[in-house]
Structure 1
Amino acid sequence: MAKLYGLGVGPGDPELMTLKAVRIIRESDIVAIPKSGQSVNVAYTIAKGAIADLDKKEIVELDMPMTRDKAKLAASHDAAAEQVKAWLDAGKNVAFLTLGDPTIYSTYTYVHNRVRDAGYETEIVPGIPSFCAVSARLNDSLTEAEEALHVIPASYAGTEEALHMTGTKVLMKSGKSIGKLKEYIRTMDNPPSVKMVERCGMEGERVFQNIDEIDEEASYFSVLILRDQKN
């Protein structure tokens, strides 16, 4: 029976792709990549760095608009799932590429759930999450001993409250909220240390070692790590 693979290609550096991810891409009949309006597909570029002959595979873009319009999102997810099911019905294995890990804020999840719930074979292939790569790039750990780890979608409601939780805070999906986050963090009674990496492992990578350095105009591919100050 044909299978859909939700496949994490990691955060940016092709060398961080897993051996399993490379093997499944090579063995799949179709490589699906999300089309979001960007001129260059990042997930495809990463995979291409690890698989030189990737362009010999059948590569298909599935429309995944960058919007919060629930109706538009549902329509795009439905359409993508129907296309995937048609391929599976034809006996073709499909590798759906996604940045980082497919289980963490991934558009793939919505397609996966629709296809799985329709009775098709599906499998999630994990990838290295961006925040793990960012912490490694900063040459530091994320947590120690009893410290908690909080992963926060920073462009959504509730972020300011989440910043007061004890432990390490990872801010993802920050986008245009970086300036607002910097301003709020500076008002906190005991502000955490703040570091950020933009485009970790990709061309144009930038590392910011403190809150003052952080560029408020940094790209969508930026991850902030906040650590409680040790007394």
Structure 2
Amino acid sequence: MKGRLFGVGVGPGDPELMTYKAVRIIKECQVLAVPARGRKHAVSYRIAAEMIENMEEKEFLDLDTPMTKDRQILDRNYENAAGRIIEELEKGKDVAYLTLGDPTIYSTYMYIHRIVKAKGYETTIISGIPSFCAAAARLDDSLVDRAEELHIIPSSYGIEAALNYSGTKILMKSASRISEVKRTLEEKDGNVNVKMIENCGMPEERIYERIEDVPEQAGYYSLLIVKESEKER
């Protein structure tokens, strides 16, 4: 009998935000996989290890993904990662691929998931709390009210046009371009309210309540919540 692949969302950073189902699946799987080079470099692994004992005893796949936008390099990486997972599935072992937040939102896992699924193996996605939902909770406010729209934007690809959308904008993956993002938002001249959370739910968490407080350099796990000012609503 062939094994199954589970894409497990471990939530945004606080181990207590992991779901019961995520914990159960990780406990039951014989093999763990992460998009990093080794356990100590995998944030998702460290989060899960806070809730699950003896994870170090499980077999481990370090499926490091290069930081590039080159599709050919990425596609080769996804194929190689899928191949290593399939080797374990062929042995009848279940594999849990651990990913931050939810696997369906800008996750490396989904590219691997599709390859494994297309080859006829059983795949299951285990939802996790998305980072922007956790960030809104930490800010003690809603993301949207009544008929307001919500837009999730990968800001590493540019945000100028997206900022013209009505409602709330979530700017994800901002770290590599944080200075540019900050300048663009400052040009809105008071027409938006901006807050940023860095490392939400982690020990290194930082909250910035105003755009002028946002640093010129930010950690990889940073997101901004951009709302229209009250006068614009």
Distance change >3 Å, CA 73–CA 59, structure 1 → 2: same
* Segment drifting more, 213-222 vs 10-19: 213-222
Task: Among all aligned residue pairs of Structure 1 and Structure 2, give the percentage whose two residues are the same amino acid.
Answer: 49
Q: How many residues align?
A: 230
Shift of 1:117: 0.8
**One-letter code aligned to 1:131:** F
**One-letter code aligned to 2:222:** S
Shift of 1:69: 1.7
Q: Does 1:198 align with 2:198?
A: yes
1:168 maps to which residue? Answer: 168
Gaps of 5+ in 1: none
CA distance in 2, matches of 1:121, 1:2: 8
**Is the 1:37–1:65 Cα contact (8 Å) retained in structure 2?**
no
2:66 maps to which residue? Answer: 65
1:177 maps to which residue? Answer: 177
Q: Does 1:209 align with 2:215?
A: no
**Is the 2:39–2:62 Cα contact (8 Å) retained in structure 1?**
no
2:188 maps to which residue? Answer: 188
The TM-score, its normalising length taken from structure 1, stands at: 0.96
Instruction: Give the alignment of 1:26-65 within 5 angstroms.
Output: 26-35=27-36, 40-65=41-66
**Is the 1:147–1:167 Cα contact (8 Å) retained in structure 2?**
yes
**One-letter code aligned to 2:218:** A
Matched position secondary structure for 1:151: strand
2:4 maps to which residue? Answer: 3
Gaps of 5+ in 2: none
RMSD value, Cα:
1.5
CA distance in 2, matches of 1:37, 1:185: 37
**Is the 2:36–2:42 Cα contact (8 Å) retained in structure 1?**
yes
Shift of 1:191: 2.4
**Is the 2:195–2:224 Cα contact (8 Å) retained in structure 1?**
yes
CA distance in 1, matches of 2:24, 2:105: 22
Matched position secondary structure for 1:96: strand
Matched position secondary structure for 2:171: strand
